[in-house]
Structure 1
Amino acid sequence: MVRPIVGTGTPETRWQQWPAMRDWPDLPLDPVEPPLVVAPHPDDEILGVAGLMAMLGRADLVAVTDGEASHPHSTVHTPAELAAIRRVETTDALDRLGLSGAPVHRLGHPDGGIDEKALTRALADLLTPGRWCLATWREDGHPDHEAVGRAAAAACASTGARLLEYPIWTWHWAEPDEAAVPWHRARRIALTPAAMAAKVAAIAAFPSQIAPLGPAEADAAILPPHVLARFTRPFEVVFS
């Protein structure tokens, strides 16, 4: 269900005070091959599972879009310029995670116009039975995130791959014990100090998103500090 991503959302302090977060089972880190990590936009994979990627030391990335619509009315950059900037930021982020040699499959779907059927076919071609596929949750609230989640679910169903869904905007619109969220499927990924430091460095590789592009309101940061606080915890969460 697409939801309006407005206001400051649920503060991280409220999530940290929720006892259930401490009780979710740990995710066994036992993939038999590099996981396939699917990002609707450059930085989603970093916010959601960069720590996991750093600890595994291997991953293949599917960059579904180049994120050219992050600032649709920017007074500083054109969409094409933003796409180029975000591709470079992704490369920098992977370097900071120790994954400079990781394969990146750039699909070039329009930001805000993902072809779900074509994406399903592309993912199915990259998946094998049992391979981990990490994608945004199918009900994360953002249309691109949800399209990617549905495509990944369909591709995993057809290939026998294992789907692991990571929430992004869920932390913004949901509340602890939100009935619409499958908390019963939540699994924790405890991050080592080294992985946590690598994740923080990788997030910093996206200045186009975490800092204003310019003084105009249309160039404001997409990921201000109160949003980033949800992604600098010493653990990550996936729905298994």
Structure 2
Amino acid sequence: MRAIEGNGTPEDEWRAWAAMADWPSLPLDAPGPPLVVAPHPDDEILGVAGLMALLGAADLAAVTDGEASHPGSTVHTQDELAVIRRAETGEALRRLGLGKCRVHRLGHPDGGIEEETLAKELAALLTPGRWCLVTWRGDGHPDHEATGRAAAHACTETGARLLEYPIWTWHWAYPNDPEVPWQRAHRIDLPAEARAAKAAAIAAFPSQIAPLGPAEADAAILPPHVLARFTRPFEVIFA
């Protein structure tokens, strides 16, 4: 787990890192709709919405409903936030052209994912060779890491293909950080249409990208300096 605080590594530093241009492209040869695993609503959109749009099909495993995003909120209860974030996910998928995407809501508590149970649930959704897109096991957020480990175990059990996407890594890491598996990094270059679809999908999460209210406890979880990391003309996968 990492301390995810402050402004983190500025996006300008990432964009100036020449090595990113040399990463190989990820072949878009998925044998069918991938299983995209999201610890919280919006993780899948930030990480791989462009790829989802390019593939034109996906199933989503929503591990939690993200009800603990604002634990001290003066505006919404956790039950209310869960309802809001589920609805935001549905709208984001529609904006990607994936409104008929099958969503498996696994109902784990936000901040209390049961890793062994999750591994079994994911294994039941996977088959040999199927792509499993999930947050990287070293991403720094405990739910992201637990979900990544559970998915890795499920892929080992089923023969599915594990593909990990970083989210908070872009915050705490830095270019050429030795703790990040850059040697496994692949790019997914996004044409203008996919970039526009991703931007629209991100905008479907007002509960995360805008304040819920004036209190500090209701501040945006994804302010502009964080969102800047997900507006690149490419996405990154550790394969």
Per the TM superposition, whether the score is higher than 0.5 is yes
CA distance in 2 between counterparts of 1:108 and 1:193 reads 35
SS at match of 2:63: strand
SS at match of 2:60: strand
SS at match of 2:36: strand
**What CA deviation, in whole Å up to 9, does each residue of 1:32-90 have, x standing for no partner?**
11000000000000000000000100000000000000000000000000000000000
CA distance in 2 between counterparts of 1:83 and 1:108 reads 10
CA distance in 2 between counterparts of 1:220 and 1:40 reads 21
- 1:169 paired to 2:134: no
CA distance in 2 between counterparts of 1:99 and 1:175 reads 33
CA distance in 1 between counterparts of 2:17 and 2:30 reads 30
How many residues of Structure 1 are paired with residues of Structure 2 in the alignment? 239
Quote how far apart the aligned CAs of 1:223 are: 0.1
SS at match of 1:108: coil
SS at match of 2:116: helix
Partner of 2:123: 124
SS at match of 1:28: coil
Partner of 2:179: 180
**What CA deviation, in whole Å up to 9, does each residue of 1:155-184 have, x standing for no partner?**
000100000000000000000000000000
CA distance in 1 between counterparts of 2:108 and 2:18 reads 39
SS at match of 1:37: strand
Q: Among the aligned pairs, what percent are the same residue?
A: 76
- 1:237 paired to 2:232: no
**What CA deviation, in whole Å up to 9, does each residue of 1:91-145 have, x standing for no partner?**
0000000000000000010000000001000000000000000000001000000
CA distance in 2 between counterparts of 1:212 and 1:177 reads 33
Partner of 1:224: 223
CA distance in 1 between counterparts of 2:101 and 2:190 reads 20
Quote how far apart the aligned CAs of 1:12 are: 0.3
TM-score scaled by structure 2? Answer: 1.00
Quote how far apart the aligned CAs of 1:192 are: 1.2
Quote how far apart the aligned CAs of 1:209 are: 0.1
Partner of 1:210: 209
Unaligned runs of 5+ in 2: none
SS at match of 1:126: coil
TM-score scaled by structure 1? Answer: 0.99
CA distance in 1 between counterparts of 2:115 and 2:20 reads 32
SS at match of 2:61: strand
CA distance in 1 between counterparts of 2:237 and 2:180 reads 12
SS at match of 2:107: strand
SS at match of 2:89: helix
- 1:57 paired to 2:83: no
Partner of 1:33: 32
Partner of 2:45: 46
Amino acid at match of 1:144: D
Partner of 2:6: 7
CA distance in 2 between counterparts of 1:33 and 1:124 reads 17
CA distance in 2 between counterparts of 1:177 and 1:54 reads 29
CA distance in 1 between counterparts of 2:34 and 2:192 reads 22
CA distance in 2 between counterparts of 1:192 and 1:131 reads 25
CA distance in 1 between counterparts of 2:5 and 2:101 reads 34
CA distance in 1 between counterparts of 2:51 and 2:197 reads 10
RMSD of aligned Cα (Å): 0.3
CA distance in 1 between counterparts of 2:185 and 2:201 reads 24
State the 4+ residue runs in structure 1 displaced beyond 4 angstroms. Answer: none
- 1:78 paired to 2:82: no
- 1:18 paired to 2:37: no
CA distance in 1 between counterparts of 2:188 and 2:198 reads 13
Quote how far apart the aligned CAs of 1:235 are: 0.2
SS at match of 2:124: helix
Amino acid at match of 1:52: L
SS at match of 1:212: coil
